[in-house]
Amino acid sequence: MKIKSQIFILFAVALIAGCSGTKKYFKAAERLEKQGLVNDAADYYLESLQRKPTNVQARIKLKEVGQKHASNMASDFFRNYNTQQTEAALSSFEDLKEFCTKTSALNVIMDYPKSYDEDYQKAVETFCYKNYNLAYALVNQKKYPDALEYIQKIKKYNRSYKTTQQLEIISICEPLYQNAVTCIENKNYSGALNLLTNIKSKTDSYKDMQDLLILASAQQTKSFILFQPKNSDTKNEKEIEDELFNSFNQVASQKFNYAKIINNTPFTFIQEAAGSFVNVDLIQAIRKATGADYFYSFNISNAQEYNSGAQKTYSKAYLKVATITGTVVTTEYHPIDYNNVKANRSYSYQYTYKLTNAYTNQIVSSQSVKVNAQDAVEYNEFTKNFGGNLNNLFPYNPQQVAPIAQYYPTQWRKLFSANSTLKTFDVLKTEAYDQTVNLFSNSVLTNIK
């Protein structure tokens, strides 16, 4: 019988799948009701009325069949509650309340014993009490994943039940904490940092997590000294190096987390040769005195300013002029002189850096990059004042150029109002410095580990 009812329900679903009308659901509900499937029929009558609240037949049948459905669910709750099947009782009552809420929204009121509301609350209390005791015992047994399953059940009904929140914190954080301690003991500070960060996302005050976090972070942090260039080729390059040295110090102090700059040291310059520092004993002494893990050195060379000036190319445009004589319109194209002007300006220098391991005197990363900030303009200008309409202006004479060689001159016309002012060298210098600061940041953050 059960198999036949399931087949019939599938048939009813297939019947209404192609149409969302209230009548289709109503007819399917009638068939289900005739088969004795009251609960399923009630759901379909409800759907029919939801799709058309003015459907009187659906309203009447929902009240009749829906009440039977509600009574069945109430009976299920009563039976489960009195046989101490708490979880099943809660599920039965929640289904009942959900159904009654939906019908009530359509002004179809279902009846059930109101004493069941109190019984439901008692069932909730019994359910929470039982699961709390199980979770509490499992936490004490250090079976944290198992405890979390019961904690989630409690949270469904009462998130603040007794010390449920504390049990959840312990169940989540304690395994992470123990693993973090093991990582620290094994000097796996990056692993410990990840675990402690996960704890911090849950709570800021779990055991001595904050102290361990500081310890793991400190062990992850590497320090470096930024050496200032010396004996630059020109005064201009020395000014660039000084500007960059200050910018590097500022960005490292403010934005770097795990690459700490040591900027309160008297060691600001050290001689290099063939890519490595010359005096190995000296750099080891500096490393021991400062605690630096890396040395960063750089220099600027071949600083250049370039300004092309305005490069003009003379040309002719043609202005369309229409003359009306009586009923005759004569179109002519008058030549107009103009210049196409191009100009560019750039500021560049060669930036070379080396990042050296202070322990081994080996180069970790080095690069020589041409830093270039530039600007360019292109525009058209008339050689004499122009008072005509630009939309009537052409870069060719349409009367003398074959149609296949003509093109619509929208972009060309825009050049008469295009920007004609280049960025100043001060602006270009700022852009070049910004590029170099980014190169510095990337080289440090990528290679200091």
In the listed set 220, 247, 274, which residue is the last one of a domain according to the structure?
220
104: domain CATH number is: 1.25.40
Q: Rounded mean pLDDT of the chain?
A: 89
Q: Does 231 share its domain with 368?
A: yes
The string of pLDDT tens digits covering residues 172-184 is 999 999 999 999 9
Integer Cα distance of 429 and 427 in angstroms = 5
> Which pLDDT band holds residue 143 (cuts at 50, 70, 90)?
very high
Integer Cα distance of 418 and 237 in angstroms = 35
Q: Does 225 share its domain with 203?
A: no
**pLDDT at residue number 271:** 58
**Minimal CA–CA distance to 428: which of 373, 376, 353, 389?**
373
189 lies in a domain? yes
120 lies in a domain? no
Q: Does 98 share its domain with 27?
A: yes
Looking at the predicted structure, is the pLDDT value of residue 430 above 80?
yes
User: What beta strand segments (E) does 45-176 contain?
Assistant: none
**pLDDT at residue number 177:** 96
118 lies in a domain? no
* 330 token code pair: 């004569």
Looking at the predicted structure, is the pLDDT value of residue 273 above 50?
no
Integer Cα distance of 78 and 100 in angstroms = 17
Q: Does 211 share its domain with 234?
A: no
The string of pLDDT tens digits covering residues 28-70 is 999 999 999 999 999 999 999 999 999 999 999 999 999 999 9
The string of pLDDT tens digits covering residues 104-117 is 999 999 999 999 99
Least confident of 87-91, 255-259, 407-411, 422-426: 255-259
Dihedral angle of Cα 401, 404, 409, 411, to the nearest 10 degrees: -130
**Minimal CA–CA distance to 244: which of 446, 432, 442, 447?**
432
Integer Cα distance of 295 and 223 in angstroms = 9
In the listed set 61, 88, 113, which residue is the last one of a domain according to the structure?
113
Look at 6 and 62; give whichever has higher pLDDT: 62
Total tally of structural domains belonging to the chain: 3
Burial 265-279 (b: 16+ CB within 10 A, else e): eebeebeeeeeebee
Angle at which helix 22-34 crosses helix 2-17, to 10 degrees, equals: 170
What mean pLDDT do residues 137-141 have? 97
235 lies in a domain? yes
Q: Does 150 share its domain with 176?
A: yes
Instruction: Collect all residues with Cβ–Cβ distance below 8 Å to 401 and sequence separation of at least 6.
Output: none
Instruction: Collect all residues with Cβ–Cβ distance below 8 Å to 272 and sequence separation of at least 6.
Output: 278, 297, 354
Across 7-16, 149-158, 234-243, the highest mean pLDDT is recorded for 149-158
Dihedral angle of Cα 394, 397, 401, 403, to the nearest 10 degrees: 50
Least confident of 271-275, 276-280, 322-326: 271-275
Integer Cα distance of 446 and 424 in angstroms = 33
**pLDDT at residue number 257:** 76
> Which pLDDT band holds residue 231 (cuts at 50, 70, 90)?
low
Residue 300 is given by DSSP the state E
> Which pLDDT band holds residue 448 (cuts at 50, 70, 90)?
confident
**pLDDT at residue number 259:** 82
Domain that holds residue 168: 128-220
Q: Does 397 share its domain with 318?
A: yes
**pLDDT at residue number 233:** 67
**Minimal CA–CA distance to 414: which of 387, 390, 386?**
390
What mean pLDDT do residues 187-205 have? 91
**pLDDT at residue number 4:** 46
**pLDDT at residue number 277:** 54
CB 200, CB 213: distance < 8 Å? yes
Note the pTM of the prediction, 2 decimals: 0.55
In the listed set 190, 220, 250, which residue is the last one of a domain according to the structure?
220
Looking at the predicted structure, is the pLDDT value of residue 292 above 50?
yes
